[in-house]
Chain A
Amino acid sequence: MKRIALKGGKELETKVKSKALDTFKEAAETIVNPELKKWMDRGGKVTGYFCCYAPEEIITAAGMVPMRVRATGSTSTELADAYLSSINCSFCRHAFNMGLKGEYDFLEAVVWLNNCDHIRRIYDNWRRKVGTPLAHMMSLPKLTGDKQVAWWREELVIFKEALEKHLGVTITDDKLRKAIKTHNETRRLLRQLYDLRKKANPPITGAETLATVIASTAMPREQYNKMLAELLNELKGAEGIKGYKFRLMLVTSIMDDPKLIKIIEDLGGLVVTDSACFGSRPFWVDVDEKVKDPLDALARYAIQQKPACPRMFLGFPQRSEYIQNMIKEFKVDGIIALRMVFCDLWAGELFMMEKDLQKAKIPVLHMDREYLMAGTSGQVRTRVQAFMESIGGK
């Protein structure tokens, strides 16, 4: 592996001037982005969700925009702190605080899963304290057998019927198939974007890619697909990014702050891929469009096909293999593993992952973080710098 001597910081960014990318960046920095606002101004409805296992396709088929709940722009948790405690994940505290402040009042419905101890309790608090017209919880299995696929299919039916009843609509199989096609199109386009990052000189940074992925969870989907296709066209012939020192991979749960990646990249570590919730995991595999029953297809996708979350029991070997494949495909020099403080699932996951990475001799930096980076950017910079020096000094 060619090593480049560490020099002072240099801002890495795409050479392309793209309207689509600017729109995505704006979507990542706001909760209600202009495209979503236009949709709502036309009378369109929005359903929030808290985890990438949520069946976005059913929401789309119901004629709504699925939007992943973030806490972008939140600065405090004073209202949420009356209900939650200091050992609860800061993302949950900020997101619930925004709910209590009315910043998510535009949502027609919110759907939760029992994905982790923190988020599942936001459902309990939210449904009592925030006036979202429909608050729905789904029971996601922890195993991945055919029995679990059948259980999840039933949960999908219950959710579909709840939306139908609430909205007074019928979600037909044809509508579901169309929604699956639309969402698969997003997945296909995002994978194309990641393919460009495999190049020695990728045309887009990790921070810009994260903004693009975030926008996919916050915009009317067909509109998003058109803009992403435009961006891909612009990037295809574009000059690549040069002068970076290392190719890094991010492994994390919820991380929706492009500024954090920018800090890493400004130090010369280009983030070229990830295993993240706001990253590759939700789009690395398509929902099978050939399956006759669309709900069967969605159920099997979530339980058996999509790259899994650490909450799926005994799935670590597959999750580790996913990371190892990424390392090879994207020629990764080192891994930055981020864990939200108080996240038990990721404490275990990173403990196991480090064992495998050690065997594979892949350098890894394990950083615990709070949802807001405020006041910690200096620490992040110092740790990443030291990490990159350690890779360089190998």
Chain B
Amino acid sequence: MTARSLTDKCCQKLIEERDMLGMMVEAFTKTSTGTNLHLVPTKAFVEHHNEILKRYISGEPHITSYFCCAPEIYTAMDLPWNTFLTPAFTGAIMPGYHEMIDASGKMFRGMDLCTIIRLAAYIVEEDLVPPPTAVVAMIHPCDGINVVHQTMAKNEKWSKIPVFGADPPYWADERSYNYYADELKKMVAFLEKHTGIKMNTNRLREVIKESNKQIALWQEYNDLRRAVPCPHGGGMGLEVFGEAMTVHCGMPIGTKWLKDVIADAEALVKQKKGAVPKERIRLLWFDVLSLGLTMGLFPWLEQEWGAVIVMEMFGYSPYTQIDTSSEDSMFRGMAVRALHEVPMIRQARGVADLFLTDIERIVIDHKVDCVIYPGYMGHKDGSANVGLMREKCRELGVPFLYIGMDLFDDRYTTLDELKDKISKFFVAMGLGNK
């Protein structure tokens, strides 16, 4: 192995991001009077970045992977994982973000490829991410994610890194779950071979049991968000997802934090206190969230309109408990979770029906006043469901707004344009007069 150092080009972006998150941790620590719920997840990301950098330098194994590739396995193997999709999600707080988006567009000779994917491919091409020991690729739910792992494998530096992709069936039935469970077993064999770390079934069982607790708490939290007024704002759903399915998946520290979130929400519900002083509109934002949105659009919605995002695509997935009685039952359970339960994969991977049933479930359960489908430019499959979603909302008697925007590039549809569109929609639908 050639000598590696923190001054390597591939570390700089991660260091920049870590330092930015570190400043947020500092701010939360200084300004908080009680429990600051943002502190643990933000601190976790700082620690995560440090661990990846440390492992890159030392040559210890670490992988590139995703929340939907059974992260319980990574926790059980004590294998830190990094995703090169992060730059789009954290871009709003990073300097030089727009320049990077533009450069990625030039690289692909156009801007219509999903911005997350373009940026991910770009940072690999430009050596802006530490190369891992191995890659567990995600090859669903969209074409873009398939593309980025293929371009990554074509990159000279990354082409030497072993890649595994679990083949995703299109269906959600026993045949598909068994097929995918077998794929996950192959994934473990791949990881054992390339990282030298052996999977311990008992350890996996413990992790899954902890993860099951987290899932149950997450469900409890989702139930609390049904309260009128909703105790927390829109960004919290994403943080809960992040704790349960990414950095602290299957770890007691994540479980503890989820309990804190519930305690906070419960107290607010008892006091009939909401995320805003006067909740006037209960919104379902049916797509991904980004830091840009949670810092820009969502606070405006709350302040200007009393509009609270009571649920979004990542916040309320009907998870089931994984049966830990045998190795087979655990792999089957992780296959169900990875194929049919984790947000976004669940809806976008297979037939469109889950878009519609999820909207229906959330609208009813969370007493939603209107549904916004932002129409992210990267989500081509979702945008082909827009008519069906509109019809579903009409059937449910809730107004539906389709915007057409780039969740990760605020120049595509600017914040002012978004505010204008959403305001006109609220006025036209008679919303916000409560």
Chain B 89-137 interface residues, beta-carbon cutoff 8 Å to A: 107-110, 112-114, 117, 121, 137
Contact of B404 among A85, A121, A349, A352 (CB under 8 A): A85
- Distance (Å) between the CB of B108 and the closest chain A CB? 5
Q: Are A116's CB and B384's CB within 8 A?
A: no
With both beta carbons as reference points, the residue of chain A lying nearest to B114 in the complex is identified as: A344
Q: Are A125's CB and B387's CB within 8 A?
A: yes
- Distance (Å) between the CB of B378 and the closest chain A CB? 8
Q: Are B384's CB and A347's CB within 8 A?
A: no
Q: Could you write out 25 A-B pairs with CB less than 8 Å apart?
A: A82-B387, A83-B387, A83-B388, A87-B112, A87-B404, A88-B380, A88-B383, A120-B170, A121-B384, A123-B351, A124-B352, A125-B388, A139-B171, A140-B170, A141-B167, A142-B165, A142-B168, A143-B167, A151-B179, A313-B146, A314-B163, A342-B380, A345-B143, A348-B150, A351-B151
**A residues less than 8 Å from B383 (CB atoms):** 84-85, 87-88
Binding site for B on A (CB under 8 A): 82-89, 92, 114, 116-118, 120-125, 128, 137-143, 147-148, 151, 154, 310-311, 313-314, 316, 341-345, 347-352, 355, 366, 368
With both beta carbons as reference points, the residue of chain B lying nearest to A145 in the complex is identified as: B167
With both beta carbons as reference points, the residue of chain B lying nearest to A151 in the complex is identified as: B179
Interface 0/1 of B367-411, CB less than 8 Å to A:
000000001011011011111100000000000001010000000
**B residues less than 8 Å from A87 (CB atoms):** 112, 375, 377, 380, 383, 404
Contact of A85 among B147, B165, B384 (CB under 8 A): B384
Q: Is B208 on the interface with A (CB-CB < 8 A)?
A: no
Complex Cα–Cα for A147 and B137 (A): 18
- Distance (Å) between the CB of B372 and the closest chain A CB? 14
Contact of A143 among B148, B151, B165, B404 (CB under 8 A): B165
Q: Are B113's CB and A347's CB within 8 A?
A: yes
**A residues less than 8 Å from B432 (CB atoms):** none
Interface residues on B, range: 35 or more
Given known A-B contacts A311-B143, A311-B146, A352-B150, A344 and B384 have beta carbons under 8 A apart:
no
Interface 0/1 of B148-179, CB less than 8 Å to A:
11110110000000010101111100011001
With both beta carbons as reference points, the residue of chain A lying nearest to B380 in the complex is identified as: A117
With both beta carbons as reference points, the residue of chain A lying nearest to B182 in the complex is identified as: A147
Binding site for A on B (CB under 8 A): 107-110, 112-114, 117, 121, 137, 139-140, 142-144, 146-151, 153-154, 163, 165, 167-171, 175-176, 179, 182, 350-353, 375, 377-378, 380-381, 383-388, 402, 404
Complex Cα–Cα for A92 and B109 (A): 23
Q: Are A366's CB and B150's CB within 8 A?
A: no
**B residues less than 8 Å from A118 (CB atoms):** 380-381, 384
**A residues less than 8 Å from B163 (CB atoms):** 314
With most chain A CB atoms within 10 A of its CB, the pick from B144, B147, B148, B378 is: B147
Complex Cα–Cα for A106 and B165 (A): 41
**B residues less than 8 Å from A143 (CB atoms):** 165, 167
With most chain B CB atoms within 10 A of its CB, the pick from A137, A314, A342, A366 is: A314
- Distance (Å) between the CB of A169 and the closest chain B CB? 25
Complex Cα–Cα for A246 and B139 (A): 39
Contact of B384 among A92, A137, A139, A310 (CB under 8 A): A92
**A residues less than 8 Å from B179 (CB atoms):** 147, 151
**B residues less than 8 Å from A82 (CB atoms):** 387
9 additional contacts, CB 8 Å, given A117-B380, A124-B353? Answer: A85-B383, A125-B352, A125-B388, A139-B169, A142-B139, A142-B167, A154-B175, A314-B153, A347-B147
**B residues less than 8 Å from A148 (CB atoms):** 167
Complex Cα–Cα for A357 and B148 (A): 20
Contact of A84 among B153, B165, B350, B387 (CB under 8 A): B387
Q: Are B165's CB and A151's CB within 8 A?
A: no
Q: Are A313's CB and B404's CB within 8 A?
A: no
Q: Are B153's CB and A316's CB within 8 A?
A: yes
Q: Are A84's CB and B386's CB within 8 A?
A: yes
Complex Cα–Cα for A141 and B350 (A): 13
- Distance (Å) between the CB of B331 and the closest chain A CB? 15
With both beta carbons as reference points, the residue of chain A lying nearest to B389 in the complex is identified as: A83
With both beta carbons as reference points, the residue of chain B lying nearest to A345 in the complex is identified as: B143
Complex Cα–Cα for A84 and B385 (A): 6
Complex Cα–Cα for A120 and B147 (A): 17
Complex Cα–Cα for A368 and B110 (A): 9
**A residues less than 8 Å from B378 (CB atoms):** 344
Q: Are B154's CB and A355's CB within 8 A?
A: yes
Q: Are B112's CB and A316's CB within 8 A?
A: no
Complex Cα–Cα for A140 and B167 (A): 10
Given known A-B contacts A345-B143, A352-B154, A121 and B381 have beta carbons under 8 A apart:
yes
Contact of B150 among A84, A116, A313, A342 (CB under 8 A): A313
Q: Are A85's CB and B381's CB within 8 A?
A: no
